[in-house]
Chain A
Amino acid sequence: MSPRDWKADEDLLRLFQTIGRASLLCDIQDSHSGNMAVKVRNAAGVEEMAITATGSQKGDLDAGQICFLSAGGTDYGYYKASSETDIHQRVLALPGVRASMHAHTKDLTIVTLDDAPKPSPVPDFVPVDPLGRAYLGDHVHVDWFAVPSGSAEMADLIPRRLAGHPATIIQNHGTFARARTLGEAFFLLGVADASGRVVRQAQKLGVDVGALRGRIASDPAAHFPRLPGPYEIEDDGLCDFPEETELLAEFRKAGARIFESRLSPFHTGTMSVRGVRDILYAPKASLPREIGGPLRRLPMASAPSDSAELAVHKAIYAETDFQTVMHVWLPEAEAHSRFRYPGEEGESDKIVPLDAEGGFLYLVIPVLPAEAGEEEIIRNLFDYKIAVVRGGGVWAAGTQSLSEVLHHPSSLREICLYRLGAFERGLDLRKMEPKKAARW
């Protein structure tokens, strides 16, 4: 046991606190579940591990609930630290890994449950959504453990799983992710849970997910022609337009709403406001109130370095008078884009609101094929202000404000939930939809 000052420094404490609170907000933890660990360098320049204390409330961490362990051994903190410390310690020992996090990703956990006699092998989880494919790969391991919490078996297998994959699933328990930063680990867990939500909702909507997985496996590029780029860990604190104080506040409000209303997982999606020669652009639109993301001022002219999403923002501005654009990865919309009406051929090319509010805002919301190009997206934004691209997220445009453009995916989420609820109750959606919607 080595003497140790228990005070975590302020930056580290804030990091754990904000991610802890954010993970509760997006519902991937219960009051005390999960754990977070990072590698830090102490005052003497020696690397050690900081990890949340066992049984701590991740939404209300104080400095005494961050435990420090030297990377090579144990000290006093070991006895207070998470029961899964051994796992994290080994994960953090993987090359390039500086953060590790475990969360109760409920949607993903639910869709990987099975009722087979144990022990028996568990099938991998295969994402059917673009974010899952981009960041988790074409499969994620799911493992059953006799003691699925803090066991030696877990400490043995999980680091090995994470050596080849960014995340791995413990059946009946949740997900572990490893990353370069704690923010990235949280990002991966958010993506993983959203990926589970897409599958879960698609199943509820009667989609044959097995067949869908088969189709995707046979031609993944056709299903996801425009996957998002790698997760960037630099520049989260960057703001290129501090002088635009009112707009800055608008970005932060909209970003927080995207995150809290789960319109797009943490640090995914993009939003922009157009200027005259430049655009103000948030490449990580889903922003919890306490966690930043880069806010960029970029030239309006397209550049070879533009990401696929940024290129669409710029194309929309080049072709239209819209002032704001948003792109989110809304799980409800992705699941709905695979919906087939019972007894009808093919995936539906529109989402028809059943609720009064949705019905008056949008007669229908178009669902475009995965290969839809900028031109088709723009044409639909003119007429509907919002469009779902199967395997490509949700695009929305506004004539004036960020708040206006935010309203579109937010309404769409409700529209999808009402439809899902009605379908689950065995109601006939066709009968409930306005007749004229079939023509739009």
Chain B
Amino acid sequence: MSDPSFGIHGKILEIDLSAGYVRVRPLDPSLTADYLGGRGLATRLFYEAVDPASDPLGAENVVVLAPSPLIGTSAPTAARGHMVFKSPLTGFLGTSNSGGGWAWSFKATGYDALVVKGRASSPVWIDITPEKVDVLPAGRMWGKDIHALTDELTTGFEPAARPRVLGIGPAGENLVRFAAVANDRNRVYGRCGPGAVWGAKNLKAVRAAGRMKTRVHDKERYQSGYEQAMHLIRQAPVTKRLLREMGTAGLVELINVIGMLPGRNFQDCTHRDEDLEAVSGETIAKTILERAAGCYLCPIGCQRHTRVGGKGEQAEAGEGPEYETVVLMGPVCDIYDLEAITRANYRANELGLDTISFGSTVACAMELAERGLIPPAELAGLELRFGRAAVLERLAVETAFRRGAGALLADGSFRLAERYGRPDLSMSVKRLEIPAYDPRASFTQALGYMTSPSGACHLRGGYAVSLAFFGGWKEIPRFSLLQSPIAIRNMQNHGILQDSLGVCRFTGYAFGSEPWSRMLAGATGLDFSVARLEEISNRVAALERLFNLEAGAGKLDDALPPRFAETPIIVAGEERAVSVEIQERMRRDYYEVRGWDAEGRPRPDLLGRLRIAGRRP
């Protein structure tokens, strides 16, 4: 067993499922210096391996998973993995992140990244240990949900040696375009449909059983960053209290207070207080919460382990709901029934669905149905309208199996709305559904959705709400046209850094780059100054943009659905919309701040400075 050299093994594991080979190739040290790990490294390896014109559900698509040099140290939350692929939902860059222990375990097998190419002729799973890598038949696992799959691949091991399983459920197998990949049963790579890519590759699971430790090069330097980070996590109200006590759903009432909580497919942001209270973090804590927990190595602990249905036959336990799930499956569908939301969430976890895209697609279908645009016959007997909590769980199952009305939903809200002649009723950007923060209540958030490389994602696009309400001394104006482009660029860059370090977005509530710089430089012994980290983030952002341009994205894809320009909401007594002119101005300014030209293409001098060689002029 080789001894990992201070956070970096120097090895990439590459598996071609079509050709049937497994090979280990060296990791060029300059890639670590220039792209770090996690999202940065995965994006770089993906970019060099994939044809941007490839069919996302074809054998040509490539999946890259990468942990980071920090993973394996004690750095808070540093156990997250990042997956990059071409998204079957958007047709552009698919980029998704998850907590859970798989990334940690994979790194401890001795690799810095996993690249999966090709398509197996029949279902397979991959078993990775420090000693060997096997590609094995998965015929008998096909059709199993994620929990059953995890149980099957982890039984018979001592707890200390228990491997970690990353896999898909029926939704991925059935190529649902927003299918997730999960590890530790309920920790998901949810956005952009990675599960469908795995399903298309006939890849059911990857099991990792690593034991290698990550050594720290300069303990004192590392420790100074670590102590500072831990202190600030224990001090900031969101990380020390809110997330643990109420989970992310603790945001429900707060986001409503700032006028940002969407309802009825984003038709408005108005809710009755008693309705919202029924689905709030406080109510979850008082009624269905069994215990709070955290992802591997997380001192914050926002997970909700819950139970619904009392003690009777209908009782069941699971995880969730999180804030996004509560709002997208709840108020966005005009549903305020916590039990219905929670049960649908359990099904989504088991079957492998992204709850944001699922909830938003249900809401879109409800609006289409209410407007009489979906012929009832096509709904397979389902009475679909806003507020019908009873449909949620059934639709989750039907969507995962592409049957009944779920067959309509399985390709996401954009394709659904387009099919019925009203693509404008899909609340998505680049065909990725918008999360639970209404863009009209913050220009900064609006611009984040518009320019996120993966489509409307609050995590890749910049988690502006964290500044709008909990920013503390970093709190920024929500409606500053001048500040928004730079504020969102900086937030996106910090997100790239966090994803490339394998750490949780929520640490950003407590601290910025400096403690990470010291932990990373201390762990690796390499120069990872804050200036260097900033450069890495800018490099990754430029490369992500290049891929999207090569995959056909253009300026017009960086826009909000018309509803946000045409229908104002009331924020603090004022009508707010994000007019086309405002969008144009912010987009133009954002491009300029990024060093892109008027069409959103990274300028040659920027690419030269960042040492990026694009494939096309």
Distance in angstroms from B459 CB to nearest chain A CB is 17
Report Cα–Cα, A440/B517, bound state, in Å. 14
Report Cα–Cα, A400/B235, bound state, in Å. 20
Residues of A within 8 A of B467 (CB): 400-401
Q: Is the CB of B530 within 8 A of A383?
A: yes
Distance in angstroms from A271 CB to nearest chain B CB is 14
Q: Is the CB of B487 within 8 A of A400?
A: yes
| Any B CB within 8 A of the CB of A424 | no
Looking at the complex, which one of A241, A277, A383, A403 makes contact with B475 (CB distance below 8 Å)? A403
| Any A CB within 8 A of the CB of B32 | no
User: Which partner residue on chain A sits nearest B512 by CB separation?
Assistant: A399
Q: Is the CB of B477 within 8 A of A399?
A: no
Q: Is the CB of A382 within 8 A of B529?
A: yes
Interface centre among A401, A406, A436 (most CB of B within 10 A): A401
Q: Fill in one digit per residue for B559-571: 1 if any A CB lies within 8 Å of its CB, else 0.
A: 0000000000000
Q: Is the CB of A276 within 8 A of B473?
A: no
Report Cα–Cα, A241/B471, bound state, in Å. 24
Given contacts A277-B592, A360-B228, A382-B534, contact A399 B483 (CB under 8 A): no
| Any B CB within 8 A of the CB of A274 | yes
- The stretch of A193-201, A244-252, A282-290 that contacts the partner chain: A244-252
Report Cα–Cα, A362/B232, bound state, in Å. 12
User: Which partner residue on chain B sits nearest A405 by CB separation?
Assistant: B473
User: Which partner residue on chain B sits nearest A273 by CB separation?
Assistant: B483
Given contacts A246-B478, A399-B512, contact A276 B224 (CB under 8 A): no
Residues of A within 8 A of B480 (CB): 244, 246-247
Q: Is the CB of A383 within 8 A of B220?
A: no
Residues of B within 8 A of A403 (CB): 473-475
User: Which partner residue on chain B sits nearest A406 by CB separation?
Assistant: B473
Task: Decide if the interface of chain B is mainly helix, strand, loop or mixed.
Answer: helix
Q: Tell me the A361-394 residues at the B interface (CB within 8 Å).
A: 363, 379, 382-385
Q: Is the CB of A250 within 8 A of B486?
A: no
Q: Is the CB of A436 within 8 A of B476?
A: no
| Any B CB within 8 A of the CB of A439 | yes
Given contacts A360-B232, A383-B529, contact A399 B490 (CB under 8 A): yes
Residues of B within 8 A of A277 (CB): 592
Report Cα–Cα, A379/B476, bound state, in Å. 25
Q: Is the CB of B589 within 8 A of A401?
A: no
Residues of A within 8 A of B486 (CB): 274-276, 321, 323
Residues of A within 8 A of B514 (CB): 383-385
Q: Is the CB of B476 within 8 A of A401?
A: yes
User: Which partner residue on chain A sits nearest B494 by CB separation?
Assistant: A399
| Any B CB within 8 A of the CB of A404 | yes
Report Cα–Cα, A400/B476, bound state, in Å. 7
Distance in angstroms from B246 CB to nearest chain A CB is 25
Given contacts A244-B480, A246-B480, A360-B231, contact A401 B485 (CB under 8 A): no
| Any A CB within 8 A of the CB of B161 | no
Given contacts A246-B479, A247-B480, A323-B487, contact A398 B529 (CB under 8 A): no
Report Cα–Cα, A247/B480, bound state, in Å. 7
| Any A CB within 8 A of the CB of B593 | yes
| Any A CB within 8 A of the CB of B493 | yes
Q: Is the CB of A436 within 8 A of B224?
A: yes
| Any A CB within 8 A of the CB of B24 | no
Distance in angstroms from A263 CB to nearest chain B CB is 15
Q: Tell me the B475-513 residues at the A interface (CB within 8 Å).
A: 475-483, 485-487, 489-491, 493-494, 512
Question: 29 A-B pairs, CB-CB below 8 angstroms?
Answer: A244-B477, A244-B481, A246-B478, A246-B480, A250-B477, A273-B482, A275-B482, A275-B483, A275-B486, A276-B486, A321-B486, A321-B493, A360-B228, A360-B232, A363-B224, A363-B228, A379-B531, A382-B530, A383-B529, A383-B530, A383-B531, A384-B514, A385-B514, A399-B474, A400-B487, A401-B473, A401-B474, A404-B474, A439-B220
4 A-B pairs besides A321-B534, A400-B471, A436-B224 with CB distance below 8 A are: A241-B482, A247-B483, A360-B231, A406-B473
Chain B residues packing against A (C-beta within 8 Å): 220, 224, 227-228, 231-232, 235, 467, 471, 473-483, 485-487, 489-491, 493-494, 512, 514, 517, 529-531, 534, 538, 589, 592-593
In the A-B complex, the 10 residue pairs with the smallest Cβ-Cβ separation, listed nearest first, are: A246-B477, A276-B589, A382-B531, A400-B474, A360-B231, A275-B482, A382-B530, A407-B473, A404-B474, A404-B473
